[in-house]
Structure formats: C-alpha cells, structure tokens
Chain A
C-alpha cells in the first residue's frame, strides 16, 4: 500500500550576496530598494510559499585584504526589512538569519517577539553562529568566542531566548477598563537564567506573541550542527538535493529526533536549490549554461580558486590549467567573512580531486569552477522542474526546497506562474493558505 503523496513545502530565498545572484543581467534590479523586496515577497505570497528567507553577514567580505567587489555587496538589516515586508503581505512567513554570537538574548527575543506580533505570527529565525575575530571587529566584544564553543553558545543563546519567550504565558493582559486591572500578574515576564554564556535576571517586556516562539531554522551540516537541529530546530536547510545524498541526510537527521522526544514531522528538511526555467528543456539547458557563465566570470573563477588554495593566484589565466602549487593548508587568510571556505576540510585533497577532474575532462580553471560550484538543481521546462521537485520530495530527499533565484526581484515570477500551478494541479502543493501563522504553514505544533 502506498502512502498518500507528501505535501511540498516551498520557501523563497531573497537573492543573496554571492555569485549565484546575477547582477549583470539587464533585468536585474536593486538589492536594497524596498520595491525589490515588495515585488519578491508578493510573488512568493501569490505562489502560496511557506516563507521568504533573508540571509545576513555582519562584515563585508574581503579577499587578499580588499573588500570583495565582484558579487552583489550590501544588504538591509534583517529585522527591519522583515517588519516592513509584513506590511505588504498577509500570510507569507518572514524568516531571517540572526547571529547568536554578536547579539544578546534579551534584545533578540524582543525583536523576534515584536516581529511576530507585527506580522500576526509569521516570524522565523535562522540561528547562525560565527566566531571569527574578523566579524567581531564590528562589535563591542570583538572576536571573543573560541571556534569550538560556537555551537554551545548558540544552544545557550537559543535556550535563553526560549525562556524569555515563555516568560509571558499569554493570559497576563486583562485590560478590564471597569475594574482598572490591566495585568493579572504583578511580575509578568519574570525570568532568571544562568549558564556559562548568559547570567541574566529580570522581566521580559514583550507580551507573548501569536506563535509563542518564532520558527527556528538551522543550516549546520556537521555532526554537531545536525544534533543542534534535531534538538532545537523546526526546519533545516541542507545542501543535499540529489537522490542518494539527500536520502542519507534525510534519514540521518530525522533519525536523531526520537532522542529528543520528537516525531519526524516536527523537523522540516529544505535544501537550498536553484532553478532555470524555459519553454523547453533544451532552451533551459542553454539558458542554464549562460547563467553559469555569468555567475562565474574568469575573475570570479580565480577568486574561487584562491579561496580553496588560500593563496594569491591573480597571475593565473582562468582559461588555462589549474595551478601546480598545492593549497596553503594553514588558517585561511586569503578569504575572510565567507562561511563557505570552511566547507573545504582538507584543501590539499580537494585540490588533488579538482586537478584530476580538470585533466580528465580537459577543463580550464573557469570551466572547472563552473562544474564544482553552485550546481543548478532544477533545469528545464516547467513540467520538468515540477516533476524534479515532486519526485525528490516523494522519495524522501527532502520535505521541500528553499528556492534561490538568480535574479532580483523578478527571479521567482516564472516559477510562481508556471511551476506552482502544476504542483497544485497534482495535489502536492497548497492552493491557498490553510492557516494564519508560519507554524501553520509548516505543519508544526505550537510547543515542544
């Protein structure tokens, strides 16, 4: 007996500060004007997506000691722009990255509780940790956190905010004009919390918000990251959107939930994925290649190579072979403010693989980088893309996808107009929102 078709979850990633985003396209618009956010958010809401997602980075990236200028640079403040987007949407979830290292729980809890009130229950929080002194130079405490303690701090940060969110129970405000009783409780929001990172006491000053707590998203892939997600997150961004790797990740993470008394439905797995749409599969393949060429210019290819090599390779020809010299295995000093460089756990081994691949397929530096970075997940006519998405979800590679368009602000339009209706026709994606809150959209219970 086959099980009923899984319902797909979809989220829209506002095009980010990296080379996935093609700013050189004639249709590319502003990354900071509010009108771009309005267009993008309304498209996602029209398509009945679960949520919009905004990434964050707290220091402009640098390479070889200079601000990196080949990608989009500059972003808005996450909380502020999400609160403004709440005014131009009604149901769309509003999720953003907020760092747990360079913030304090009382303030972040106030901001999320406020965003949740102001959006009537649509707030989501991607909890990230960073530890680098480079980013710390913009903040009061500098680079205070040792790398190995970053997940511990994130966990403590999250637990502390939960205590604050839960410090109001939701029944404190009576507001009886006749008797003059505004509060049932003389000490609403009272809390006391102590752990190795936070020792705080007092009263939280935002009443309980519609969702109680914001939805928690998490993106870590290490064993620690997966465990953190299993214990604490409502949704996880993964990097695995192919059949075998995706299924392995899916069963691994879902298998960790029982340990925390949770069921598999309580953690939604959403790989970040790109797509290229055209009228026919052939046209889409051609367009996809053009997009890759725009995403990876010759100079961008050299910069990518430098990030792995940890060396200045500016003298190399992007249309020539890979460098013969090995990467510098020490601390990465070439590229700063970029989390992705930590993906390369063994740079020398990765370089060897790349060289073998380039030699076997006769690839130049640029061609190789096009192959090894930013693979396009779904390429094809609308029907092909819709099948691709649905097949992977039904095969338990994921519960849905966070789509990362390469154009701002119109990159989602074609998907909304041509792919979503197919998924709806097949009964695997909602035709209208069934609930009010982001928690409703994700089908997750209120409390753990």
Chain B
C-alpha cells in the first residue's frame, strides 16, 4: 500500500467502527472452532488479547456484553443447553482489567440497569474513565427476564419475561422498565457532573482540600428511586463518559433519543435504517436534544473469509454443529471483507454514523475486521489511519461537556 498517497481525511463524517465482544464469538458453535480457546474465556489474557487486536485495527471502541443471568437461546429464561458457552464475567471489571493494557480504544461494558444501583454504576464507569484516562462508556441494558429478577428477589416480573407478555399489558411493562432506565441514566449523568472539574483545590492557606461550592447534591427523585449525591468519585476525565443502548423498537428508540450518545440498532437493509434513524431523531427532538450528537450504529453479525464461498461454507459448518441456522436480532453478513466494505458504504448513506460488528467467531472474524477490512477501508480512504484523539468522546467527535452544575 503506498504510504505516500495524500491522506484524504474522510470528510466531516468519518466512518465509526466498533466490535461487540462476547464469549467465543456470536455464533453458538464458535467455541468449537480450531482457534477458539473456550477454557480461557474467564481469564484476563483472553480479553486483553481481543482488545489489543481491536486497537490494532484502530477501531473506535469495543463493547463487552453482560447479563445478570446465564446466557440462553431463549430470550426469557435459561435453556438448559450444555452445548453452548455459559457463564460470563462482570463486563465493567473486564473493561477495567484491560484498560491499563490499551491506550486508544474505547471500552464500553454493558451494565444492567433494572436491578442495580445507579450510584454504584455511576462511580464504576467514572472510575473506568479514570483508569483508562478518558476511554470509558457504558451500554445500558434493561432486563425483563423473570429469572434475573429472582436472582435479586426484590421485585417480581411476569414469567418467563416481559417480552412474552403480549398486547397493551406487555407494552406497559416494557414502557415502565425503560422509564426506569431513563431515570437511571439521568442519575448516572448527574452524578458525573456532581463534581465540577476544578472542585479539588488543595488550598493550603485555608486547609481546604475541596471547594464545597463545586460539589453538588443531585437531589433526584423518581418513581423507582431517589438519589441525593454528590458522587464519591471526582468528575471523570471525559466529563460525561459515553452512554449507549441497544434498541429494537419504538420504546427503546425513545430511550436512545432521550438519554444516549449512541444507539445500536438492527436494521435489515438501508431502508429500515433510514426509518429507524428518523424515529431516533424525532425522539431526540421531543426530548429537547435535537442539537446534540446522537450516533446511530447498525449492528451486523459477520462471518468473513477470503472468498464468499469459504465464508458460506464456514457458517454452514458452524450451523450444522450448532444444530440449527444461526439466528440473530441483527443482520448477518457472510462474505469477504471487500464485500462488507461495499455494504458499509451503501448503508452509511441511510444516516448511520457507523457500525458495530459482531464477530461470528473469535479471534478469526475479529482479525478479518482488523487485518483485512480496515486496510480495505484505508484503500478506499474511508477510515482513520491513526488514532486522532485520546478520549472516546474525541474519537466519536463528541465535545467534552461542562458540568451542568457549573456556574455559567
């Protein structure tokens, strides 16, 4: 590749690219692949190597999946299967463990907001931002599963889960859970702002370590919880770490529009993508956030090889081992990295800021992204050739906000 070719920075709308990491990859038989290391899924080395690979490919960020119950092929309850990966580590801690070993890539662990404390998650993500010097985010996840609720025993959800309750009753429950999620993010964000940037003064003359005028009670009162504040953790380097959410329908699109910086969505084609983006923009406007940047990323599950035939054969072999066709909420792409680059180009026109790719298998499909797709995008002058910012907000083109409590 000619290194001296003039570097055309891809316009005002650079392509953003992320990967979603989970277990041995997103295909249920991924752990049986020759290069899979299924006995190392619970080690630090496994995760730090994956994140290093993502960073090698100059990706914006990785997400790390999580849940408060065992993985399942059913949406709502454990499935009792013994032929798929089960068990996972706390995603925030995985992100913290890999943070000191990486330098540029953003780290977005999933946090379930339904049963946990916004105060704890706020300081955990603020701390992740401190230990990664400004590369933290969080993907908030609502849990509607009755079995996860029973792990906490503090509320009862319909069995087996909210998603199985049809009609207005189901929509009502879902709306409740997402309303709570919106409150949760509001608390998390207020706590991040509850210390102004210059609250720590170390004023030897007066003996004061902090200027308490710059520490703020958040006084949040909601239907599910009230939180006083301030946070115990000083304001994170990014001010506001990045908040994302996966959304498949109108209720979660509204959450994205109201509180998120990134929405992960699952269109099947550019037309659907356009519709979803419009719905999120409307939700943003309704929430008074029309001026703010909310990036919409399309999720794609990917199986990548040098030839489309090889990729198809590999996916077929995986399906056969799994005992059924791979089903995904996201569109599944099977083919060459070059074909994928074509597709990304076409879909972007629908108003997408970027893509979150879900590697079908690890590390194979991740390496296809970082070592083949990214160079292909470089040939098309469509992706960064080096990290241009030190923080995740910087990579995403998001300004660093001042604290909402700072005196104007």
Task: Tell me if chain B binds chain A.
Answer: yes
Which residues of A pack against B, CB within 8 Å?
23-24, 32-34, 37-38, 57-60, 66-67, 69-77, 79-81, 83-84, 86-88, 102-104, 106-107, 110-111, 113-115, 117-120, 137-140, 142, 168, 173, 175, 177, 180-189, 198-203, 205-207, 209, 297, 299-300
In the A-B complex, the 4 residue pairs with the closest CB atoms: A83-B96, A137-B228, A175-B38, A114-B90
Q: How far is the CA of A372 from the CA of B33 in the complex (A)?
A: 66
Interface centre among A57, A119, A205 (most CB of B within 10 A): A205
Q: Which residues does chain B contribute within 8 Å of A205, judged by CB atoms?
A: 67-71, 86-88
Task: Establish whether residues B90 and A111, one from each chain, have CB atoms under 8 Å apart when the complex forms.
Answer: yes
Task: Establish whether residues A138 and B100, one from each chain, have CB atoms under 8 Å apart when the complex forms.
Answer: no
Task: Establish whether residues B227 and A137, one from each chain, have CB atoms under 8 Å apart when the complex forms.
Answer: yes
Task: Establish whether residues B31 and A177, one from each chain, have CB atoms under 8 Å apart when the complex forms.
Answer: yes
Q: How far is the CA of A184 from the CA of B80 in the complex (A)?
A: 11
Using known A-B contacts A80-B131, A201-B150, determine if residue A23 contacts B100 with beta carbons closer than 8 Å. no
Task: Establish whether residues A177 and B36, one from each chain, have CB atoms under 8 Å apart when the complex forms.
Answer: yes
- CB of B23 to closest CB in A, whole Å: 10
Q: How far is the CA of A67 from the CA of B209 in the complex (A)?
A: 11
Q: How far is the CA of A348 from the CA of B133 in the complex (A)?
A: 49
Task: Establish whether residues A299 and B209, one from each chain, have CB atoms under 8 Å apart when the complex forms.
Answer: no
Q: How far is the CA of A325 from the CA of B48 in the complex (A)?
A: 62
Q: How far is the CA of A413 from the CA of B103 in the complex (A)?
A: 27
Task: Establish whether residues B224 and A140, one from each chain, have CB atoms under 8 Å apart when the complex forms.
Answer: yes
Cβ of B8 under 8 Å from chain A? no
Using known A-B contacts A107-B115, A181-B83, A203-B78, determine if residue A60 contacts B230 with beta carbons closer than 8 Å. yes
Q: How far is the CA of A273 from the CA of B93 in the complex (A)?
A: 30
Task: Establish whether residues B225 and A140, one from each chain, have CB atoms under 8 Å apart when the complex forms.
Answer: yes
Q: Which residues does chain A contribute within 8 Å of B234, judged by CB atoms?
A: 32, 74
Which of B42, B82, B120, B226 makes the CB contact (< 8 A) with A117? B42
Q: How far is the CA of A71 from the CA of B68 in the complex (A)?
A: 38
Q: How far is the CA of A29 from the CA of B268 in the complex (A)?
A: 52
Task: Establish whether residues A186 and B124, one from each chain, have CB atoms under 8 Å apart when the complex forms.
Answer: no
Task: Establish whether residues B83 and A180, one from each chain, have CB atoms under 8 Å apart when the complex forms.
Answer: yes
The closest CB in chain A to the CB of B236 belongs to A32
Q: How far is the CA of A104 from the CA of B116 in the complex (A)?
A: 8
Q: Which residues does chain B contribute within 8 Å of A119, judged by CB atoms?
A: 44
Which of A103, A114, A181, A184 makes the CB contact (< 8 A) with B120? A103
Which of B70, B96, B115, B202 makes the CB contact (< 8 A) with A24? B202
Task: Establish whether residues A200 and B98, one from each chain, have CB atoms under 8 Å apart when the complex forms.
Answer: no
Using known A-B contacts A69-B208, A76-B123, determine if residue A32 contacts B130 with beta carbons closer than 8 Å. yes
Q: Which residues does chain B contribute within 8 Å of A77, judged by CB atoms?
A: 120, 123-124, 126-127, 233
Using known A-B contacts A139-B119, A182-B83, determine if residue A66 contacts B195 with beta carbons closer than 8 Å. no
Q: Which residues does chain B contribute within 8 Å of A38, judged by CB atoms?
A: 100
Interface centre among A111, A181, A198, A299 (most CB of B within 10 A): A111
Q: Which residues does chain B contribute within 8 Å of A59, judged by CB atoms?
A: 228, 232
The closest CB in chain A to the CB of B128 belongs to A80
Task: Establish whether residues B96 and A71, one from each chain, have CB atoms under 8 Å apart when the complex forms.
Answer: no
Task: Establish whether residues B86 and A182, one from each chain, have CB atoms under 8 Å apart when the complex forms.
Answer: yes
Within 8 A of A (CB), among B267-301: none
Which residues of B pack against A, CB within 8 Å?
29, 31-34, 36, 38-39, 42-44, 48, 67-71, 78, 80-90, 92-94, 96-101, 115-117, 119-120, 123-124, 126-128, 130-131, 133, 147-148, 150-154, 195, 200, 202, 204, 207-212, 215, 224-230, 232-234, 321
Which of B48, B88, B116, B226 makes the CB contact (< 8 A) with A142? B226
Q: Mind listing 13 A-B residue pairs with CB under 8 Å?
A: A24-B204, A58-B119, A71-B209, A77-B127, A79-B93, A79-B96, A80-B128, A80-B131, A83-B96, A84-B100, A104-B115, A118-B97, A177-B36
Q: Which residues does chain B contribute within 8 Å of A88, judged by CB atoms?
A: 100
Q: Which residues does chain A contribute within 8 Å of B212, judged by CB atoms?
A: 66-67, 69
Which of A73, A87, A181, A183 makes the CB contact (< 8 A) with B99? A87
Task: Establish whether residues A69 and B209, one from each chain, have CB atoms under 8 Å apart when the complex forms.
Answer: yes
The closest CB in chain A to the CB of B146 belongs to A202
Q: How far is the CA of A238 from the CA of B97 in the complex (A)?
A: 31
Task: Establish whether residues A73 and B209, one from each chain, have CB atoms under 8 Å apart when the complex forms.
Answer: yes
Q: How far is the CA of A23 from the CA of B206 in the complex (A)?
A: 13
- CB of B215 to closest CB in A, whole Å: 5
Using known A-B contacts A80-B93, A177-B36, determine if residue A74 contacts B210 with beta carbons closer than 8 Å. yes
The closest CB in chain A to the CB of B82 belongs to A183
Task: Establish whether residues A115 and B93, one from each chain, have CB atoms under 8 Å apart when the complex forms.
Answer: yes
Which of B29, B31, B101 makes the CB contact (< 8 A) with A175? B31
Task: Establish whether residues A58 and B93, one from each chain, have CB atoms under 8 Å apart when the complex forms.
Answer: no
The closest CB in chain B to the CB of A297 belongs to B207
Q: How far is the CA of A119 from the CA of B45 in the complex (A)?
A: 10
Task: Establish whether residues A118 and B44, one from each chain, have CB atoms under 8 Å apart when the complex forms.
Answer: yes
Task: Establish whether residues A80 and B83, one from each chain, have CB atoms under 8 Å apart when the complex forms.
Answer: no
Q: How far is the CA of A189 from the CA of B69 in the complex (A)?
A: 10
Task: Establish whether residues A200 and B152, one from each chain, have CB atoms under 8 Å apart when the complex forms.
Answer: yes
Q: Which residues does chain A contribute within 8 Å of B83, judged by CB atoms?
A: 180-182
Task: Establish whether residues A104 and B154, one from each chain, have CB atoms under 8 Å apart when the complex forms.
Answer: yes
Task: Establish whether residues A76 and B97, one from each chain, have CB atoms under 8 Å apart when the complex forms.
Answer: no
- CB of A132 to closest CB in B, whole Å: 12
Q: Besides A74-B200, A120-B43, A200-B150, 6 other CB < 8 A contacts? A: A80-B92, A88-B100, A107-B152, A111-B90, A182-B31, A184-B82
- CB of A369 to closest CB in B, whole Å: 14
Task: Establish whether residues B116 and A107, one from each chain, have CB atoms under 8 Å apart when the complex forms.
Answer: yes
The closest CB in chain B to the CB of A184 belongs to B82
Interface centre among A34, A71, A77 (most CB of B within 10 A): A77
Q: Which residues does chain A contribute within 8 Å of B101, judged by CB atoms?
A: 87
Task: Establish whether residues B215 and A81, one from each chain, have CB atoms under 8 Å apart when the complex forms.
Answer: no
Task: Establish whether residues A84 and B82, one from each chain, have CB atoms under 8 Å apart when the complex forms.
Answer: no
Q: Which residues does chain A contribute within 8 Å of B115, judged by CB atoms?
A: 104, 106-107
The closest CB in chain B to the CB of A87 belongs to B100
Q: How far is the CA of A171 from the CA of B335 in the complex (A)?
A: 38
Interface centre among A23, A71, A83, A297 (most CB of B within 10 A): A83
